[in-house]
Structures are given as structure tokens and as C-alpha cells.
Amino acid sequence: MASLRLDGLAHRTLAPVDLALAAGEQVFVSGPSGSGKSLLLRAIADLDPHQGEVWLGTEARSQMAPPLWRRQVGLLPAESFWWAETVGAHLPLIQSSSADAERLSGWLAGLGFEPDVLDWSVTRLSTGERQRLALVRLLAQTPEALLLDEATANLDPGNRDRVETLVEAYRHEQAAAVLWVSHDPEQRQRLGGRRFIIRTGRLELEPETGWT
């Protein structure tokens, strides 16, 4: 996997950001509502207008086709979009081999699902189930870096722990850089790594007292 580097990345509410994540490093971002946390992730994923450059290892975002970039730098939004009728219809590639199927079953079991969840209609899913399954859908693309936007905000403690465990396992196994937006100071403290806060339009190191 590769490192993730932001060079002067800016959008309409955020001053230019210079930030480097080593391969396999996890970094948290927090801040008040409306401060631009989600917009930062969307800019990195090249989904919104922005200035500056993003690098994945030695490859610049500006030199890569957007669909390819978004597979390698995977964004998990706070609210996921589902376009097909069943859960399994969103995961056709990962079911193409026995190794992929085994990995998928492991992820689903780790998040508290039985294999038959692939046959479920998307309309029957709760908000929390959609959130957990959206993570599986993202990991199925084998991204080299993860951008997580409040990945556990709608989950009870048990399912929150399951998601944290899966992200941690993927990060270590794939040496994936993880940039995680989280409003939960206990989560940021518990999982470790560098912590930043967006305040008055600037990305700063988070004080030891945290941010609620």
C-alpha cells in the first residue's frame, strides 16, 4: 500500500492543508458541525471543487482518472447510497473467486451478519446495518487508503466495536492509510494515532483535552 499526502489542499471553508499519512497510519479529524470535515474528505476523494494536490504514494490525483482514484482512495460517507435491490448486487466482484468469497464471509461475520444478508433487500436494512454493510462494500474495492466519515456514529457500542476491529484489521493487513472523521473523543483516544481538529477554517493538532 501507499502513503497519503495532502499538499495545499483547500476548499471554500478550509485554509490550505499540508498533511502526510504514512502507509498503515491512522489519523483522526474532529471539529464542530459545519467546520468542513466532510468537505475535506470529499475534496481528497475528488468529489468537490478544491485547490491543491493529493498524492497516493508517488501518484498524483490530478494524473489519475477519477474512477480509478476513487477506488484506490475509498470514501465511506456518513450516509451511503444504494442503487440495486439486494445487498449482494452491490458486491459482484468480490464474489468472483473462492478466496474473495471467504474474505467477504469473514467481514460479514465480523460485523454480525450471516451469509444470507447478501440476499436481503436493501429496503429492509436499518440505518446501522446500511452503515456496516457500506464498509464491506468499500473494502471490497481493496482501497489503498480509507476516508471514513463518522463510520460508527449510528451504531450501538457492540457494533461500533465490530467496525473498529474490522478497520483496524484492514489497516494492518493492507498497510492502508486511514483518515477518520469522528466526533467521539473517547474513540479517538481509544484507537490512538495523531488527532487533528478543524477550527476557524484551519486544521490544527487536537489539544490533549479533546473536543466534544
User: Domain for residue 138, yes or no?
Assistant: yes
Q: Residues 45-58: pLDDT tens digits?
A: 999 999 999 999 99
Alpha helices in the chain (DSSP H): 37-44, 66-72, 98-110, 127-139, 157-174, 185-191
Q: State the alpha helices, DSSP H only, in 4-97.
A: 37-44, 66-72
0.85 exceeded by pTM: yes
Kindly report the CATH number assigned to the domain that includes residue 21. 3.40.50.300
94 within domain boundaries: no
Convert the pLDDT of each residue in 15-46 to its tens digit. Answer: 999 999 999 999 999 999 888 999 999 999 99
Question: Is residue 14 domain-resident?
Answer: yes
If one counts the domains in the chain, the total is 1
Quick check: is 19 in a domain? yes
Q: Indicate the residue type of 121.
A: S
Structural domain boundaries enclosing 154: 4-81+124-205
Write the pLDDT tens digit of every residue in 75-128. Answer: 999 998 999 999 999 986 555 567 778 888 999 999 999 989 999 999 999 999
CA distance 57 to 158: 35
Residues belonging to the chain: 212
Question: Is 37 part of a structural domain of the chain?
Answer: yes
Tell me: the pLDDT tens digits for 160-191? 999 999 999 999 999 999 999 999 999 999 99
